[in-house]
Amino acid sequence: MKLIHCADLHLDSPMESNLSADKARERKAEILSTFAKLVRLADENQVAAILISGDLFDHNHITKKTETYVLDLISSHPNLYFFYLAGNHDKGNLLRDLADKPENLCVFDDGWKSYSFGEVTITGSEKPDPDTLSLDPNALNIVMLHGQERAGAGKKNPDDIRFAAFKGKHIDYMALGHLHDFRPASIDERCTACYAGCLEGRGFDECGQKGYVLLETEGRRIRHRFVPIARRTLHTVECDISDFTSQLDLETRLLRATAEIPSSDLVKVVLKGSLPAESQKDLAHLTGVLAERFYFAKIQDKSRLIIRPEDYRYAVSLKGEFVRRVMESNLSEAEKERVIACGFRALLGEEVGL
């Protein structure tokens, strides 16, 4: 039997922290289309069920258009079952509380609930208590959970999961949601747990390949394999610009650093290195160069100006007066360096921030 484990789609997420309004709308549509692609791939490849481990939606108040599309997608594939566990972003959503659910939609609530499905038993809870979990040791058991794995003591959150508490519970595979990267872990000799990650990255905290986990039963075991599916990938690339010689040199370095990235992807380039105080770089121009090559591009400047205050001690200039006033202040040495660097950037016409 084949199953698909996915999570954290965050449908109807605003997507506007980096993107323009038009591109945000386009990416929202692409994420929904990727989910539809997943459903069709499952149907075409004789997958028995899709396990969605939370945060299918980004919040409770999704658009009617998205709500209708998702329900139509489920209903139009009656031979494909959907096991849905709400996450912290979509608890109380329409799928769990819908009065007239599609027959192929199975949901969970606060207590442990189990479904016998072909060769496997699928169990889940939105508020999992490992002490009350009781599974048949002779069954092939999948447990669906949504939350952050926490080890040891410390402050507890409602969505915390302690892997150690599930040892010896006769689990064969734990289908997890909440973390947005694929992340496997071993619970005990019998159980493997996987965070499926999201299907599409939405911001630069979600870089790298995104996809789902394909599960296949093999006798008394469940094999798992990560499968990429994202239409676009997000990348964060560091570029050392120490001792650059010209604006053209900067362009060459940026293009070299991003040469292997597909043009359909989203890129953030982080500028690193130490530069002479009088260095000038046109970040708007550099961003434009990258924007012509990629679906979306941004630059984060973390380079440092090399400031030697003694060079300005007797200078009769705005820079000299500025440096002297900063050096006479009660700021720490690190703060003085940062303020001087920002002031120099402002005098060069660059955007600055402390």
pTM: 0.88
CATH of domain 2-228: 3.60.21.10
Q: In the chain, which segments carry CATH 3.60.21.10?
A: 2-228
Take residue 354 and report the two structure tokens written for it. Answer: 């402390």
Query: What would the pLDDT profile of 304-328 be if each residue is shown by its tens digit?
Result: 877 777 777 778 888 888 888 888 8
Q: In the chain, which segments carry CATH 3.30.110?
A: 233-306
Provide the CATH topology of domain 233-306. Answer: Translation Initiation Factor IF3 (3.30.110)
Residues 82, 86, 87, 93, Cα dihedral to 10°: 120
Note whether 37 and 230 are within 8 A (CB).
no
Region 102-130: what's the mean pLDDT? 94
Q: Percent of the chain, pLDDT > 70? A: 93
| 277 pLDDT higher than 70 | no
Query: What would the pLDDT profile of 212-256 be if each residue is shown by its tens digit?
Result: 999 999 988 999 999 999 999 999 999 999 988 888 999 999 999
| 94 pLDDT higher than 70 | no
Q: Is the dihedral of CA 250, 253, 257, 258 positive or negative?
A: positive
Note whether 38 and 212 are within 8 A (CB).
yes
